[in-house]
Amino acid sequence: MEAASGSKVKFTLTERQKRMMPLVMIGAFFEGFDFMVINLALPFITSDFNLNDQTASFTVSAVAVGTLLAFFVVRLADRWGRRPIFLWSVIIYSVLSLVTAFSPNVEFFIACQFLARVFLVTCWAVGFIFMTEEFAPEMRGRAVGLFQSAAAVGAIFPSLLLPVTAMFNLEWEGLYIIGALPLILVIFFAKNLPETTAFLETRERLNNGTEHKPSMFAIFAKSYRKHIFAVMGLWLFMYICYSSAMNFFTYHVVNDLGWGTTQVSLVTALAFTLGLSGYFVAGKLLDAIGRKKTAFIFFFLGACAVTLVFQAEQFLHVALAQIVAVFFIGTFTVLCATFTNELFPTEIRASATAWGNNIVGRLGQIAAPALVGFLAIPIGGIANAVSLLTLGPIVCILIIALFLPEPLNYTIPEYNANQSTEA
């Protein structure tokens, strides 16, 4: 299907979309919530389980590996449907979050959060697919921007709720109990979430025997091979910069610049709150000037802002740079997801997300801390290492410019099961 470009269609929701949106946005909200909880609660977890620095770092890395296994669950959305995979992922994640709060030891904690991360990332990935398939191309940029803004809101909440849970002597345990709340929402609102029309049409063709179910490697068919490799590169290089910038900001300003906890909390809260507007601006630009031009602007300015964060020394300069950086880099996942979901047919759209984000992309997320540590010594510290990794978004710009079409003007090749075995 070819979409019109340069659309200025007013963003309005149908009754179907109004019922669907609140539940789908849970995936984004709790992805942001959980990402921030483990970083915020780590000092308390370390203390309760008597962990040293090395074990604490291993704990975070081990939990993050769960994002890779989400590959197998996300792919099922192409076979079983978007709705059941999303709803069951919410249910399983919620139960695991609740069980995590009662962890008797760090091994049990890692096991619960490892599995929870599998299904949480699945919620987020399938949520993006819902937005892609339920909104017309001329409104899709604003829809996915709104969806991902829920992750930024979710990232703010743990720091607001920590003082409350601390009152009951449940610092990290209370936050994971709160993480189980989606289970209640699913019980009451699951009926409002329909299966996407695009998937139902695809399933009808499959049931009629006119097509075969896509294999695990169908995404590498000749018609899609160039684009899936380019999308993999986007996710990989984006996460290398994104994870480095997010994970090492506090470390840098506290250890290198001597900031106190009040300064860190103030700047972080301001950055994430004001950064919400980045999703809405990116969403509008995606629909108004196109996917590629918007990506060029946000990737380039995001890389510049992160470099300034880690090279500036004055408090005001670093604070302003961090606010600007979060505004731009917060949208990086939106940009990558837009290309991933709009360049592949319905039959293999979830597979594109699974391969691009959950396998290759998340490897970049896991490897980023190690890369920073590896580079820090030869190039003069953490700040210089993170600054060097801001080349990631510049590589993304080159990938988009050289290997990807403008999705708004692109006709997706129809899925042909016979192509899936081509060399």
57-77 residue pLDDT tens: 678 778 888 888 999 999 999
| One-character DSSP codes across 132-197 | HHHS-HHHHHHHHHHHHHHHHHHHHHHHHHHHHHHHTT-HHHHHHHHTTTHHHHHHHHGGG-PPPH
Banded model confidence at residue 54, pLDDT cuts 50, 70, 90: low
Whether residue 410 has pLDDT greater than 50: yes
What's this model's pTM, rounded to 2 decimal places? 0.81
Identify the top-confidence range among 70-79, 168-177, 183-192, 306-315.
Answer: 306-315
Per the CB < 8 A criterion, the answer to whether 196 and 134 are in contact is yes
pLDDT for 6: 45
At 150-165, the pLDDT tens digits run 888 888 888 788 888 8
Q: What are phi and psi of 289, to 5 degrees?
A: -115, -5
- Any idea which of 119-128, 149-158, 199-208, 377-386 has the lowest mean pLDDT? 199-208
Banded model confidence at residue 209, pLDDT cuts 50, 70, 90: low
pLDDT above 70: percentage of residues in the chain: 94
pLDDT for 303: 98
Banded model confidence at residue 55, pLDDT cuts 50, 70, 90: confident
At 277-288, the pLDDT tens digits run 999 999 999 999
Torsion of CA 15, 18, 20, 24, to 10 degrees: 160
Whether residue 212 has pLDDT greater than 60: no
pLDDT for 57: 67
Write the CA distances from 256 to 42, 169, 388, integer angstroms. Answer: 21, 32, 17
Torsion of CA 299, 37, 91, 84, to 10 degrees: 0
| d(C-alpha 204, C-alpha 194), whole Å | 16
Banded model confidence at residue 417, pLDDT cuts 50, 70, 90: low
Structure tokens at 291: 């996917």
| d(C-alpha 106, C-alpha 7), whole Å | 52
At 329-366, the pLDDT tens digits run 999 999 999 999 999 999 899 999 999 998 999 899 88
Whether residue 106 has pLDDT greater than 80: yes
| d(C-alpha 302, C-alpha 264), whole Å | 20
At 116-173, the pLDDT tens digits run 999 999 999 999 999 999 999 888 888 988 898 888 888 888 878 888 888 888 888 9
Banded model confidence at residue 4, pLDDT cuts 50, 70, 90: very low
SS3 string of 335-366?
HHHHHHHHCCCHHHHHHHHHHHHHHHHHHHHH
Banded model confidence at residue 1, pLDDT cuts 50, 70, 90: very low
Write the CA distances from 410 to 137, 188, 317, 407, integer angstroms. Answer: 11, 39, 42, 5
Q: Which residue ranges form the domains of the chain, and what is each CATH number?
A: 10-213 (1.20.1250.20), 214-411 (1.20.1250.20)
